[in-house]
Every structure is written in structure tokens, then in C-alpha cells.
Amino acid sequence: MENEKKDDHIHHNGSKRKMAKKHLTKAYVNDQFLKSADGRPLRLLAEYLEPLRRLRRAQIKDTVVFYGSARIPSLGEAKDNLEKLKWAMSRANPAPTAEMKENLHKAERDIKMARYYEDARSLAFKLTQWSLGLKENQRFIVCSGGGPGIMEAANRGAEEAGGPTIGMNISLPMEQDPNPYITEKLSFEFHYFFMRKFWFVYLAKALVVFPGGFGTFDELFELLTLRQTKKVEKPLCVVVFGKEYWENVINFEKMVEWGVIDRDDLKLFHLVDSVDEALITLKSHFEKEFVGKKRYWHW
């Protein structure tokens, strides 16, 4: 009788151990842990290592990063929208509303801003064509933030030229889905802004900054600060595109006058106003600093 009870006890405990083991989850597949505050270091590391693996496998040596507003439409899209609004206003009864008039004003403004979409597209196309003609493989690949507007224009131009093109998308509650022109294996999705910014800069040999809002200003001035403080020591060419826009919204000369920057700091970037001027600036910089040289390659 005592032996029977002992056997039952052993069988019962063994079953409990089997049941417990059956419900164990390894930490690296524990979704609840990985998405917790304690799992944040692993998420950060993943946003470093996963892009590193893909970019290394693709042998991407250098990038040219395009920044700019996500809200700037293509010229075709802007024209279509304007025509639809004019048609709606012509049939308004008894008269166009204040909202219609405001939308018309915005549509006319978009026609003007669409010039920058087409310029970004053209510059990315010409730069990619030139890059593909180099004897070295995978040089100066067009990279964008992966979304619409100027980002889409850059990826679109590179794709139309027949080259690979990178999109580093960021998860946002609005206006940020990957555009359809990114090379599939080079489309990335980030949660953390600073990890995305790291990858923008790490392989970049140049940046082209088109008109944009808070995000574009953030990226431009962060890069200028890194260059000014020599935290980025490589010869990184910064092209600021669109004199009318930039000279209207930022008075760099006044910053010098007020003594918050030195006049030499204005040499940290090139302010240009045409695709040809931007292309000449970029090509001259690349040919001087990087073409035929394995400078600042990470693999």
C-alpha cells in the first residue's frame, strides 16, 4: 500500500513537471517580454543588426540620402487635384464656399511645390545613371525615408534609372507608408527615430535636402551639427536644394550676424537651385573624395 502511494506521488509529480515544461517559453520568442520596457535594449539592437545584415549582404558601400517633405505631390497629381477643384467650384450653387476657396489656394500652392518632386526625381535618376556607369559596383545608392512626397520622388527616379534604391521607413500614426519604388530587399521599417537616423548617416557620402517641415529641419540641422562638431569626420557633402524656399524660411546670414554660427559654418553645405547644379556638386565631390577609393567602407 505504501509503495502504491509512493508510485502515485512520483507519477503525479512527473506529470506536473511535464505540464510545466510544456508551457515554458524561451525568452527570445516571448512576444510579451520583447515588447516590454525590459525588452527595449533587444529591440534597439535588432534595429541595428537586422539592417546591418541586409545592407552588408547587398554590398551597399555608399548612399546618397534624400530628405524632404512627405506632403509634396508629383506634378501630375497636383494638376489633377487642381482641375477637380476648379470643376467642383464651377458647379457650386449658389457660390463656392470658403472651404472650397481655401482648398483652391492649397492646390495652386501644390502646383508650385510639385516642382521639387520632379527635381528630386530627375536628380535621383541622373545620379543613379552616372553611378551605374562607374566601374565599381554598388556605389552611391539613392536612399530615402521610404515614404511619400520627396522620398517617393527620390526612390522613383533611381528605380526608373534601373538602379537599386533604399527606403528607411518609420512607423507613424499618419502619412508614412512605404512607397512602391523601393527595392524590395532594401525596404526597412523602423520604430526608433534615432536608429533610423544612424542608418541614414552611417553609409552616407552625401545628403540632398529638399524643402520640408519639422522632420526635414531636424535631419538637416542634426547633420550640420555633427559636421560642425566633427562627430562625423568623413567628407560628407550636404546639398540644400531650392533657394527660394530656404532663403525665405531661414536667414543663414542673420545667424552669422547674431554670432550664433561662424561664417565658415556656411561652408558646411551647398545651396543650389537646379538639378544640373546639384548633380555637378555631387559628382565633383564623389570624384574628388570617393571614386576609385575604398574610403569609409564598413565591409
Cell, residue 77: 497629381
For residue 226, being part of any structural domain is answered with yes
Confidence band for 98, pLDDT divided at 50, 70 and 90? confident
User: Distance (Å, rounded) from C-alpha 66 to C-alpha 159?
Assistant: 14
- Cβ–Cβ under 8 Å, residues 199 and 168: yes
Rounded CA separation 157/119 (Å) = 10
Q: Is residue 153 part of a domain?
A: yes
Task: Record the pTM.
Answer: 0.89
Residue pair 186/164 in contact (Cβ under 8 Å)? The answer is: yes
Question: Could you tell me which residue, 220 or 92, shows the higher pLDDT?
Answer: 220
Determine the average pLDDT of the residues in 293-299. 89
Q: What is the dihedral of CA 255, 260, 264, 270, to 10 degrees?
A: -50
% of the chain at pLDDT higher than 90: 80
Q: Are the C-beta atoms of 207 and 65 separated by less than 8 Å?
A: yes
Average pLDDT, the chain: 92
Tens digits of residue pLDDT in 113-131: 999 999 999 999 999 999 9
Between 220 and 19, the higher pLDDT residue: 220
pLDDT score for 137: 86
Domain annotation covers residue 180:
yes
- The verdict on residue 156 lying in a domain is yes
Tally of domains in the chain: 1
CA dihedral 98, 99, 100, 104 (to 10 degrees): 100
| Cell numbers for 208 | 540632398
In which band, very low, low, confident or very high, does the pLDDT at 23 lie, cut at 50, 70 and 90? confident
Over residues 182-234, the pLDDT tens digits come to 999 999 999 999 999 999 999 999 999 999 999 999 999 999 999 999 999 99
Which of 199, 168, 207, 196 is CA-nearest to residue 286?
207
Distance CA 231, CA 245 (A): 28
Q: What is the domain extent for residue 171? A: 64-74+120-289
DSSP state string for 3-26:
HHHHHHHHHHHHHHHHHHHHT---
**Residue 157 included in any domain:** yes
Which set of grid coordinates corresponds to residue 67? 530628405
Residue 19: what pLDDT? 55
Let me know: does 211 contact 113? Beta carbons within 8 Å.
yes
155-189 pLDDT, tens digit each: 999 999 999 999 999 998 875 789 999 999 999 99
- Supply the pLDDT for residue 138: 87
CA atoms within 13 A on the CB side of 192: 13
Mean pLDDT computed over 141-148: 96
Indicate if the pLDDT at residue 2 is higher than 70: no
Report the CATH number at residue 265.
3.40.50.450
Whether the Cβ atoms of residue 140 and residue 166 lie closer than 8 Å to each other? no
Asked, for residue 242, whether it belongs to a domain, the answer is yes
In a domain, 56, yes or no: no
Residue 26 resides in a domain = no
